[in-house]
Chains A and B, each alone.
Chain A
Amino acid sequence: MEKPNYNTDIVRSFINWGIIWGLVSIMVGVIVSLQMVEPALNFPPYLTFGRLRPLHTNAGIYGWAVGTTFALFLYMVQRLCKTRLWSDKLARFQLWFFNATIITAAITLLLGYTTSKEYHELEWPVDIMVVILWVAFAINIIMTIIKRREEQMYISLWYMMASIVGVAILYIVDGAEVPVSLFKSYSAYAGTNDANVHWWFGHNAVAMVLTAPPLAMFYYVLPKSTGVPIYSHRMSIIAFWSLIFMYLWTGAHHLLWTPVPDWIQTLAMAFSVMLIAPSWGSVFNGYLSMRGQWHQMRENYLVKFLIIGITFYGLQTLQGPMQAIRSFSAFIHYTDWVPAHIHMGTMGWVSMIAFASIYYLVPRVYGRELYSVPLANLHFWLILIGQLIWTISLWIAGVLQAGMWTATNSDGSLAYSFMETMVEMYPYWWARVFGGIIFLFGVIVFIYNLVMTTRRGEVSPASERTAVEGRA
């Protein structure tokens, strides 16, 4: 079969823009972490913690995670289907509209146009933009799969398809709202119903944006980097069905001990614990694929990123179910433990896999070898250490504050006022600033390495051919 003429141009663009929005998210993250320790750094009305924190999360999720997902999916779908993208024009529109959406999102959030719903703060006109963007993306991916020239569908394609329908359903149902004016709306649901719908969305956004796509990337990039196939395709199939089935039941573990009916909470608890199985199915599949290849951890920087990334996925999916248990949640919920949990996932798992995938793609879409492997190694250690400082200090902070909140005197009164517990957080919050800056520095090294690759990287004849042919 002759080599298909792949569209690599669009992949390049999405890599670039995904990284730009990732950098924005991380920089805003460092700024809000500083605002936590120094309130004078709030500059009202636009630059206060309350408005910047949603910008940090939205740029991270919709800019960085979704941006790199677009890049990787558009690349993988062509390779796995051995055919060019269904529509170059639609992909070009998707790129243009993606940036328009993220820019609109950033501006409206700073202007205070927000629905208040975590990870779904965007007001209704921006919501509609997100939906249009996703539909454009979905059509292109699905049509490419349908007209594929490779009969087999590799597991990455399965996760891509699940992510595409999952995000669509979640985003539209949770986004139901009644407009009041151009940038103000009221939720279609009220109170406890609204909470239940929203955390059904909130937790499954984690499933469909921050779990399924990185898994699709992991299953693709790991065998491609090591040169040996994954341990078991059948195991990945069982894990796939179990994962997408079980995830949807677990949203209410964000609402333990709230007025949401007890039976929903109990179901969420049970399914959260059961989710360990499919999550670790993927982790084991990754580890077992390394049999006889562990030496590559030393020799191949890509493998290091991927295996440490999947390890944090494994830790994340053990810690998550633990937090989803009522007794533990009673202690730890609402403290800094929770952001630490999220950041192990985003900095240790999602970003680690995204960085590896981009390192894998860049030589293939630019036709140049990576500028510097030592710099990639430096990048690895900086983001690993930065993340560990960030998360470990806030786990300690969370346990400390939870302990103080629940401490009582012998006469049954509370041992500490709220402020007495809050001021104890300052040293740990400073540690977080420090960890975040190290992580940011790692990302700057990454960007420098990529820029130098496109300018000075050694031209690799084989990949250059595809890169040049791929120009639209």
Chain B
Amino acid sequence: MWERKPVLLLVLATAAIMVGTIVTMILPFAWVNTDADRIATVTPYNPLEQEGRDIYIREGCNNCHTQTIRPLVTEVLRYGDYSKSGEFVYDRPFLWGSKRTGPDLARIGGKYPDAWHYKHMESPRAMVPRSNMPDYGWLKNNLLDPQNIRHKMDVLGFPYEQAEIDALKGKNEMDAIVAYLQKLGTGIPWRKTAETLVVGELHNPYQDDLTVLDAGKALYMQHCAACHGEKLQGEIGPELTDLDMPDADLYQILFNGFPEDGMPPFSAIGSDRLWKMVNFLKNEAKH
């Protein structure tokens, strides 16, 4: 039949290829990105954010960072609420990635203050010791081109105000990429809904226990020093030398953070480690 007829063989091979293609690649267009999975609060990128996204693509950030959180316990604990289809309807192209050499960024938006990102992009190891991320401080030297960005917005059909385009003048690529990162994952109010409440009376299990100070210091260096300084002198975050409050209150601050002011919650690292940090901080404040 087809063994000696190359044209027929080509046609049949194409047909064999098309069956799976139609079912798993073409048909899904009927379900995905339809009204059913739209989310009202998810908005298109503004001009600055979209330009930041294009810089993210240009620099190949997606080679090391994913942007999709799976509905798995430890993954939600580590990165935040799992990703929903409707959150990506304005992503052209998608940037889910396939390898986490660095952490997932799907919900990085609002986790740290802008100042953290500027400092981290400039010198990743200043904020995260032993990180292998390249330095991106040079992005500051490249100014944005407002007309080109307006053209991109027109092609994408995203809404923008003339004021937003005018505001791009004088801004650089670093501003854009930070704005983009701060937008990621904020389309749904997941921080509000994922907030953990502390209920009942808090009791410090390490009350007056000086043996945990070293452990507390190590934890401070790992999680806090980048913003509050190695000697608690403050930098991106305030200095911590005056912490005149009950242990339970300090615990609550570490647990919940001040997300509005750029201090992330540290509930995910667990109560045991939080109490050790409380002991360390209180002990430092005394001196």
- Whether the complex brings A and B within 8 Å at their CB atoms is answered yes
Which A residues fall within an 8 A CB radius of B? Answer: 35-39, 42, 44-45, 48-51, 53-54, 112-118, 142, 145-146, 151-153, 157-158, 161-162, 165-166, 169, 173, 178, 180-181, 184, 186-187, 189-198, 200, 237, 241, 244-252, 254-255, 257-261, 264, 267-268, 271, 330, 334-336, 338-339, 405-409, 411-414, 417-420, 422-423, 426
23 contacts between A and B (CB under 8 A): A35-B134, A54-B63, A114-B57, A116-B95, A145-B6, A162-B13, A165-B17, A190-B90, A191-B91, A193-B28, A194-B94, A200-B24, A244-B13, A259-B37, A260-B28, A260-B32, A261-B28, A334-B66, A406-B72, A407-B74, A414-B268, A418-B78, A422-B101
Per-position contact with A for B1-13: 1 when CB-CB < 8 Å, else 0? Answer: 0011011011001
- A-B contacts counted at CB < 8 A amount to 264
Chain B residues numbered 44-94 whose CB sits less than 8 Å from any CB in chain A? 54, 57-64, 66, 68, 70-75, 77-78, 83-85, 87-94
Residues of B within 8 A of A248 (CB): 17-21, 24-25
Residues of A within 8 A of B118 (CB): none
Residues of B within 8 A of A412 (CB): 270
Given A50-B61, A418-B103, decide whether A194 and B222 contact each other with a Cβ distance below 8 A.
no
B155 at the interface (CB under 8 A from A): yes
Given A54-B63, A146-B6, 8 other A-B residues pairs in contact with their CB atoms under 8 A: A48-B60, A151-B4, A152-B3, A165-B17, A192-B85, A244-B17, A336-B99, A419-B128
Shortest CB-to-CB span from B72 to chain A, Å, is 6
Shortest CB-to-CB span from A55 to chain B, Å, is 10
- B4, B20, B70, B148: the one contacting A258 at CB < 8 Å is B70
Residues of B within 8 A of A417 (CB): 222-223, 269
Shortest CB-to-CB span from B16 to chain A, Å, is 4
Residues of A within 8 A of B88 (CB): 190-192, 195, 259
Residues of B within 8 A of A419 (CB): 128-131, 222
Whether B134 and A161, one on each chain, are in contact in the complex, defined by CB atoms closer than 8 angstroms, is: no
Whether B74 and A191, one on each chain, are in contact in the complex, defined by CB atoms closer than 8 angstroms, is: no
- A153, A246, A413: the one contacting B20 at CB < 8 Å is A246
B156 at the interface (CB under 8 A from A): yes
Whether A39 and B6, one on each chain, are in contact in the complex, defined by CB atoms closer than 8 angstroms, is: no
Whether B138 and A261, one on each chain, are in contact in the complex, defined by CB atoms closer than 8 angstroms, is: no
Given A165-B17, A257-B72, A411-B272, decide whether A39 and B90 contact each other with a Cβ distance below 8 A.
no
Whether B270 and A414, one on each chain, are in contact in the complex, defined by CB atoms closer than 8 angstroms, is: yes
Whether B78 and A195, one on each chain, are in contact in the complex, defined by CB atoms closer than 8 angstroms, is: no
Instruction: Tell me the nearest residue of chain A to B96, going by C-beta.
Output: A195
- B94, B271, B273: the one contacting A192 at CB < 8 Å is B94
Given A35-B134, A39-B124, decide whether A413 and B273 contact each other with a Cβ distance below 8 A.
yes
Q: In the assembly, what is the distance between CA of A257 and CA of B188, in Å?
A: 19
- A114, A190, A249: the one contacting B89 at CB < 8 Å is A190
Residues of A within 8 A of B92 (CB): 186-187, 189-191, 194
Residues of A within 8 A of B23 (CB): 249, 267
- B6, B32, B61, B125: the one contacting A193 at CB < 8 Å is B32
Whether B54 and A184, one on each chain, are in contact in the complex, defined by CB atoms closer than 8 angstroms, is: yes
Whether B155 and A51, one on each chain, are in contact in the complex, defined by CB atoms closer than 8 angstroms, is: no
Residues of A within 8 A of B91 (CB): 190-191, 194
Residues of A within 8 A of B57 (CB): 114-116
B152 at the interface (CB under 8 A from A): yes
Q: In the assembly, what is the distance between CA of A339 and CA of B99, in Å?
A: 9
Residues of B within 8 A of A405 (CB): 74-75, 78
Residues of B within 8 A of A420 (CB): 222
Shortest CB-to-CB span from B31 to chain A, Å, is 6
Whether B60 and A42, one on each chain, are in contact in the complex, defined by CB atoms closer than 8 angstroms, is: no
Residues of B within 8 A of A267 (CB): 23-24
Instruction: Tell me the nearest residue of chain A to B22, going by C-beta.
Output: A248
Chain B residues numbered 119-157 whose CB sits less than 8 Å from any CB in chain A? 124-125, 128-136, 138, 148, 151-152, 155-156
Instruction: Tell me the nearest residue of chain B to A157, going by C-beta.
Output: B6
- A50, A258, A334: the one contacting B100 at CB < 8 Å is A334
Whether B151 and A180, one on each chain, are in contact in the complex, defined by CB atoms closer than 8 angstroms, is: yes
Q: In the assembly, what is the distance between CA of A161 and CA of B2, in Å?
A: 13
- B18, B63, B152, B270: the one contacting A411 at CB < 8 Å is B270
- B19, B59, B129, B271: the one contacting A48 at CB < 8 Å is B59
B41 at the interface (CB under 8 A from A): no
Instruction: Tell me the nearest residue of chain B to A423, going by C-beta.
Output: B130
- A44, A157, A190, A192: the one contacting B138 at CB < 8 Å is A44
Whether B13 and A165, one on each chain, are in contact in the complex, defined by CB atoms closer than 8 angstroms, is: yes
Whether B64 and A50, one on each chain, are in contact in the complex, defined by CB atoms closer than 8 angstroms, is: yes
Whether A180 and B152, one on each chain, are in contact in the complex, defined by CB atoms closer than 8 angstroms, is: yes
The 4 closest A-B pairs by CB, nearest first: A413-B270, A50-B60, A191-B88, A248-B20
Instruction: Tell me the nearest residue of chain B to A57, going by C-beta.
Output: B63
Shortest CB-to-CB span from A413 to chain B, Å, is 3
Residues of B within 8 A of A161 (CB): 6, 9-10, 13
Shortest CB-to-CB span from B203 to chain A, Å, is 15
Whether A50 and B130, one on each chain, are in contact in the complex, defined by CB atoms closer than 8 angstroms, is: no
Given A162-B13, A169-B17, A330-B70, decide whether A54 and B25 contact each other with a Cβ distance below 8 A.
no
Q: In the assembly, what is the distance between CA of A361 and CA of B267, in Å?
A: 64
Whether B136 and A44, one on each chain, are in contact in the complex, defined by CB atoms closer than 8 angstroms, is: yes
Chain B residues numbered 93-109 whose CB sits less than 8 Å from any CB in chain A? 93-104
Shortest CB-to-CB span from B45 to chain A, Å, is 12
Whether A49 and B130, one on each chain, are in contact in the complex, defined by CB atoms closer than 8 angstroms, is: no
Residues of A within 8 A of B98 (CB): 118, 254, 334, 338
